[in-house]
Structure 1
Amino acid sequence: MRVTLTSPPFQNVPCYSASEPWKATSQWPALWVVPPEEWHKLWVAAFRCQFRTTNRTRDRLHVTADERYELYLDGQWIGRGAQRGDKSQWFYESYAVDLKPGLHTLVACVWALGPLAPWAQVSIRPGFFCCPEKPELVAKVATGVAPWELLPLRDRTFRDMGPAAGTAIGSGPSETLDARVTSWGWERGVGEGWIVAGKGGGGYHGFQAHSTRPEHWLKPATLPPQLNRPWKRFRLFRTESDAIAAKAWLEFLKKGVAITIPAKSKVSLLIDLEDYLCAYPELKWSGGAGSKISLGWTEALRDPASDDKRHGNVTAESRFLGPSDEIIVDGGANRSWHPLWWRCGCYVQLEIETGAEALTLNGITFFETRYPLSVESRWQTPDAELERVLAISRRTLEMCLHETYVDCPYYEQLMYVGDTRLQCLLTYALTTDTRPPRNALALYDSSRVNPSGIVACAHPNNGGQLIPPFALWWVAMVYDLARWRGQPDFIRERLPGVRAVLDLFHQHVDADGVLRGLEGWNFFDWTFQPGGVPAGGEPGGRNAGLQAHWALVLGYVVELETYAGEPELAARYRRWQREAQQALMSTFWNEKRGLLADDAKHTSYSEQVQCLALLAGVFTAKQRARVWKGIETGSDLLRSSCYFAHYFFEASLAAGRSDLFFARLAPWRQGVQEGFRTTPETFGQTRSDCHAWSAHPLYHYLTGVVGIQPGGFGFETVTIAPQLGELKSASGELAHPLGTIRVKVWQTKGKLTAEIELPQGLRGVFRAGGKTKPLRAGKQKITALA
């Protein structure tokens, strides 16, 4: 059983707990085991260790692999890993085992996909590592110490689907399983062809002062096991199977009732999963020698004429297009297969062509996989369409949260900073579990070990890419965690990185106080062209969005340093902030337009710049009014994408303009009407149907419409300022470390009535109609002007 370590391993082992504690050592009592050097970079192998215990033995096994593994004990699957990390944070999983006296077999399926690996998969030197804690078990089980063997598994081959329309890119290859060459029973350690595993390097949990050689610096997994739950929702969208009735297929899908496909026949089954799903499919079969099985996934079906994606308006003629895995059947009994990595989408196509022998399908199970997010918050709105927008926002976050946050499950599966900041904010609003945000913040921090010294735009990443503005959003993420959850010790660990990033940016501030564009891709928002870079955003250029972003983040750091007890540093950044604000106004403010221009020559204007400047607090009251008028009436303003709409919503709700929030929700409402099950990368003919950077309406509903916000760092107080806008009522329950904050608010005849319940130990204020009223723990009812 997987266990999450809350303290270092080997705490109760005398040789470590006495003269030389574990934390003072640098090397584990185990080595990596590796395949032969002549193996190609792309391989799959089973590693086994057979050992005997004379007494009942309880211990913990610490396991990892490069690139990944699945672990079996005495033929039973017990877990997978390693949690996705990087070279300085190579995670290992820990398993509590209870071994009865007798012979045992530990087997790991390990793979390294080399050039075909997912973009987010980092590798140093492929291999496998396993280390128990008890010395008597180290000799019997530890890799590099005990007699480990390996068996090449040559039954899987891999296909890079490439960037063809409708297929996944960056998420890894599709598989072909040739069951005719499978070494069946390898997970039990049986079969022929096992060879002695080679010994690799040591397992290190510290840095060797005399060496800079790349090593796996082992750290305990920070996250619990991923969800592994059978999916129960299916609808037969289309069947092409004369010999088998639709009812039989449904019983096969929902109840696991076996179904036999006659010899020399073809079957095509299109399954609607009735929601977006990330899952490991497991297919079981018997017989059918020579049959071919294909299992494909897609986010949406396509119009047969235009090839456009279709969601709610699909027809029987709609076309399937997506990556697929294939199986060549050997004819044996009780066979099974699941892919090495999860698949995703809304539709699954199962195609079968049998040979001279009938094929029996014994069952198919889709094991939903994602981070086991416990959604503690609740919400309700009388607007059914808005309720659906909020529901798909939640589902999008769930589908984009795994071992890391991901931008999208179907394509890159990368943890981009700009996306992740919004995902973390929604996480804070839905749960008190901060493990995913902390994991993201720490990984980004370690990504600074690159030639630029700033945070990488997406990490972990086996390629590497720099979007300098995203480094500033990482600083904002540190601020967000401090504001929502406090955790001062963790924040102090991040502050050296925050300061380093700001120092590097400050080197690019010119004599006029303007931040010049850094080297790299200065992506801001996709509505800027070309490539999402605004006018003046090129390296060395001057852009108001970058300047407003700089001023905004400096304000965050002033508060962070004050919170951390560093008034001198706070004063330094306050000075930088004032200089940045002054330079923003003197360089980019156009008095005639009453707006900030994008560039120093005042050739273009955008909504994005105004929103960041509003949030940065650079305007006087008179200027603010003019800016809002310009945002509402400016026909030439470039508008925000569904990603940057987050900052438009933030600025609008901060100004009490919930009317603008509700008006701008129109594309999300349209998406619901079109049948989207998640929020997309862009509206219209989008590439990715499931993209968490557009899932923020749920965050804004809870924090802006219902109006529940932290009143200060650590959420030690609460501010409740509802803005119902066009709604007659709204309610929400927001997760808080002390309990649940409950708010129900409605408006009648110009009056706002709120029923509020705060958990014990929490106090705050209620704001509405220009008035502020104190809030105490417990239940209370407040009436104010709407």
Structure 2
Amino acid sequence: MSRPESTVTVNGSGKDINLLKHTWKAQWVTHPSASTLDYSVFLFRHVFTLKEKISEFIIFVSADNRYRLFVNGERVCYGPSIGDTAHQRYETLNIADKLNVGKNVIAAEVVNFGEYRSVSQVTYQTAFILQADRNLNLDINTGSADWKVIKNHAFSPVKITSEMMNAYYAAGPRDHVDDSKYPWGWNQLQFNDNHWLNPKSTTTEFAVGRGFLYGGAWHLVPRTIPFMEEKIERFPEIIRVSGIEKNDGFLNGKATIIPKNSKVKILIDQKYHTTGYPELTYSHGKNSELKITYAEALIKDVNPDKKVSDGNLNLVDLKGNRNEFEGKSIFGYYDIICPNGGKHRFYKPLSRRTYRFIELEITTKEEALILEDYHGVYTGYPFEEKAKVRTGDPSLTKIWDAAWRTLRNSADEMYYDSYYENLQYIGDTKIASLISIYVSGDDRLMRKAIQQFDDSRTSEGLTQSRYPSNIIQIIPPFSLIWVDMIYDYFMYRNNPEFLRQFIPGIKSIIDWFATRVDETGMLTNLKWWNFTDWTIDFPSGIPQGADDGYSANIALQFAKTLDHAQAVFRYFNLEHEVNSYQKLSKRIKKSVLERCFDTKKGLIAETPDKKEFSQHTNILGILTDTFKQDVQSDIMKKVLEDETLFQATIYFKFYLFRALQKVGLGDLYFDLLGSWKGMIDDGMTTYGETDINPRSECHAWSSSPNFDFLHTVAGIYPGEHSFKSVVIEPNLGQLTKLDVEFPHPQGMIIVRYSRNDNKINAEISTPEDLKGEFKWQGKSIPLVGGKQNIAL
């Protein structure tokens, strides 16, 4: 199975750009009598006749909440690309190659998760829309008389709570499916839909592009990202069976029989962390029940008097080595299927699942159940791994591969933090987006994220901390990081018109912070959740002084953002703001040094009382040049060596490595990979949310080695904005050889290093028009486009 690229207009605008300027002919439709707000699965059908074969049959489609679209029984896409009702994405498809001369059927499964929806789901009501291109002389638009609809009563929600997961959970319900109520074959042409109903138009029946007239419930905008990659993943091994003899035939498309009147458990190990939509085909087994539980890791068995879901156990402490199974059980969210005895039934979850382990818990009654086939379908954003890093060290290859899997499993229609939440947080996304462009060269998901965070801004001027989201959460430092993301894009891509639209948002965020700088030159009276890092020394992740004022950490975060904003605004000739931000940044840095620098310790304290110190604040002191450059190297050594400092976790180590590289100590990078090596030693195949006993086994912010192997070790980074020139400044540590390929916007950069003591040879190939500079131990050599050899 592969993504339907051949049938999709990837840019989403399609051929009919007027869709964005005029009222659509199609109408938003829904079920005529069922609730449009509660949990429901609705099925839509339209049969039509095509008189002759044509090469283009363009349609535009969207839904609230989610849909799967079928043409003549074949699924062609799912969507919409996640957003909010003020930016309701629609997909553009050319379905000509799916159609036949004569009768055809277009069918859609539309899901409203209702009150159980994930926090990332922004909704108005159940609705579906499909419009044909205006050049087609065929009325297949929703709102026409020939569309049919029914409610699929087979589905009901399995409500998953934070208490059940023993951690904050926000990712929506799982599925309970009663096969006896399922209208099997509903999306096939031959299906009899005589008893189906005619849809009704919604209360805001017309559809419009965003910004046209006075709008409606949904403001339509085109999809801006490609469809997701989909590929079959076979389960390699059953690791435990009870109730029957081990038989893995169904994992390879061969039948496995579960006898009647049996209770069976089958524990499957995918061998690595993955995400997607597993597919199960089965027959018979009337009145049986099949529970499918998914987990990133197994949990050590505990005292049966203590339930793992009672909130009294710290499950992350019970994982141990992920490759060791004895004395462990599965614990996670689950689906329930109730077969009705029919043949060749098929189940695919309504939303994506994340797992390494899956357990099938089966109870049969009077009829045996036949498991015919079961496999995963990996589903994620179609990033291509264009960057290559070859060190000759297998342990470093493992670190790279696990980091890339972490990023891949955390990116779909948006960047996700974890399977517990499925939310796009700014702090996570900044790191994930840099990795995306460094390894794949693809910046489309980064652009979408930057835009969505701008869409999230509240009346106060701050962005929300995560978006899309139906629950407002504000983390003021994450608003600063959003501005930093814009600066990143400014440095790596040449797209001024894309950047220009965010100038008002940047101003509003900086103004919010600036009004809270008092006469001391430091921030005070901060509101909301000033999360910075999950280190245990920051209560709830909040640096000391952040809430009641005079936090050196938050002040320096603001100063860093002011410096980044200056660079962007200078490009757009906004000199008034540049001068204002420059003065404010200098004032803040001066105040932090005067009030928080401790002469005895030689470091910046968290607050003016100088009682507590962190790596974080002093890293920021280096990154903002609050410390003079001639002492930054010594400060960095203290940051690394002083164990009394509050320590940065795996998330904030991204910034630690930026400071390490900045002061010329990048050769120490490989010595500081203990967190990543420790997770691999624990049998993890992706990197977790925190360094030790992570809640989430796959967290995008911990995939930073993919960035640092290229940016820090290979030393490839922009020499000026828009990546118009390149700097190559390697920090090889103990490596004697390193081969790297890197996707620059103008073409591939290929570098081969060989090193002997303090001498280096570099074979460098860059795009013809790309100029730059090679740096090594205080020496500099100009780079010109093409190939050149350097020996120093």
The bucket for the TM-score relative to the shorter chain is over 0.9
Paired residue type of 2:321: H
1:81 aligned partner: 79
Structure 1 residues 235 and 767, CA gap change in structure 2 (3 angstroms): same
State the 1:743 CA deviation: 1.5
1:669 aligns with 2:684: no
1:111 aligned partner: 111
Matches within 5 A, 1:517-666: 517-527=525-535, 528-538=537-547, 540-666=548-674
Of 124-133 and 559-568, the range deviating more from structure 2? 559-568
Is the 2:154–2:178 Cα contact (8 Å) retained in structure 1?
yes
Matches within 5 A, 1:477-492: 477-492=485-500
SS state at 1:404 partner: coil
State the 1:675 CA deviation: 0.8
2:312 aligned partner: none
Structure 1 residues 627 and 452, CA gap change in structure 2 (3 angstroms): same
1:516 aligns with 2:524: yes
Distance 1:230 1:167 in 2: 31
Distance 1:766 1:262 in 2: 69
1:33 aligns with 2:32: no
State the 1:112 CA deviation: 0.6
State the 1:660 CA deviation: 4.0
Paired residue type of 2:129: F
Distance 2:31 2:12 in 1: 32
1:132 aligned partner: 132
SS state at 1:505 partner: helix
Distance 1:95 1:517 in 2: 51
State the 1:440 CA deviation: 0.3
State the 1:135 CA deviation: 5.9
What is the TM-score with the length of structure 2 in the denominator? 0.93
1:413 aligns with 2:422: yes
SS state at 2:162 partner: coil
State the 1:625 CA deviation: 4.7
1:177 aligned partner: 177
Distance 2:194 2:291 in 1: 29
1:4 aligns with 2:20: no
Distance 1:37 1:599 in 2: 61
2:701 aligned partner: 693
Is the 1:84–1:403 Cα contact (8 Å) retained in structure 2?
yes
Out of 53, 65, 68, which is 1:56 matched to? Answer: 53
Of 370-379 and 344-353, the range deviating more from structure 2? 344-353
SS state at 2:399 partner: helix
Paired-residue identity, %: 30
1:66 aligned partner: 64
1:337 aligns with 2:344: no
SS state at 1:119 partner: coil
Out of 357, 360, 378, which is 2:370 matched to? Answer: 360
1:144 aligned partner: 143
CA deviation string 1:478-506 (max 9, x = no partner): 01011112212211122222122212222
Matches within 5 A, 1:434-473: 434-448=443-457, 450-473=458-481
CA deviation string 1:709-764 (max 9, x = no partner): 11111111111111112323322111112211112223213222222211221121
State the 1:44 CA deviation: 0.8
Q: Which runs of 5+ in 2 are unaligned?
A: 304-314
Structure 1 residues 560 and 421, CA gap change in structure 2 (3 angstroms): same
Out of 291, 296, 314, which is 1:294 matched to? Answer: 291
State the 1:622 CA deviation: 4.8
SS state at 2:661 partner: helix
1:426 aligned partner: 435
1:240 aligned partner: 242
2:154 aligned partner: 155
State the 1:310 CA deviation: 2.9
Is the 2:12–2:92 Cα contact (8 Å) retained in structure 1?
no
Distance 2:339 2:570 in 1: 65
Structure 1 residues 178 and 726, CA gap change in structure 2 (3 angstroms): same
CA deviation string 1:227-261 (max 9, x = no partner): 1110135122122253x444xx1x4313x112222
Of 216-225 and 499-508, the range deviating more from structure 2? 499-508
State the 1:461 CA deviation: 0.6
Is the 2:633–2:663 Cα contact (8 Å) retained in structure 1?
no
1:369 aligned partner: 379
Distance 1:535 1:639 in 2: 14
Q: Which runs of 5+ in 1 are unaligned?
A: 13-20
2:761 aligned partner: 753
Distance 2:216 2:24 in 1: 17
SS state at 1:732 partner: strand
Paired residue type of 2:64: D
Is the 1:420–1:693 Cα contact (8 Å) retained in structure 2?
yes
Is the 1:166–1:298 Cα contact (8 Å) retained in structure 2?
no
Distance 1:171 1:137 in 2: 42
SS state at 2:466 partner: coil
Structure 1 residues 54 and 685, CA gap change in structure 2 (3 angstroms): same
SS state at 1:662 partner: helix
Distance 1:95 1:241 in 2: 48
Structure 1 residues 382 and 585, CA gap change in structure 2 (3 angstroms): same
Is the 1:298–1:344 Cα contact (8 Å) retained in structure 2?
yes
What is the TM-score with the length of structure 1 in the denominator? 0.93
2:279 aligned partner: 282
Is the 2:241–2:266 Cα contact (8 Å) retained in structure 1?
yes
1:204 aligned partner: 208
Distance 1:229 1:536 in 2: 49
1:498 aligns with 2:519: no
1:225 aligns with 2:227: yes
2:306 aligned partner: none
Q: Give the root-mean-square deviation of aligned CA atoms.
A: 2.1
Distance 1:228 1:24 in 2: 34
1:91 aligned partner: 89
1:260 aligned partner: 257
Distance 1:729 1:579 in 2: 45
What is the number of residues matched between the two proteins? 764
Structure 1 residues 321 and 491, CA gap change in structure 2 (3 angstroms): same
Is the 2:12–2:91 Cα contact (8 Å) retained in structure 1?
no
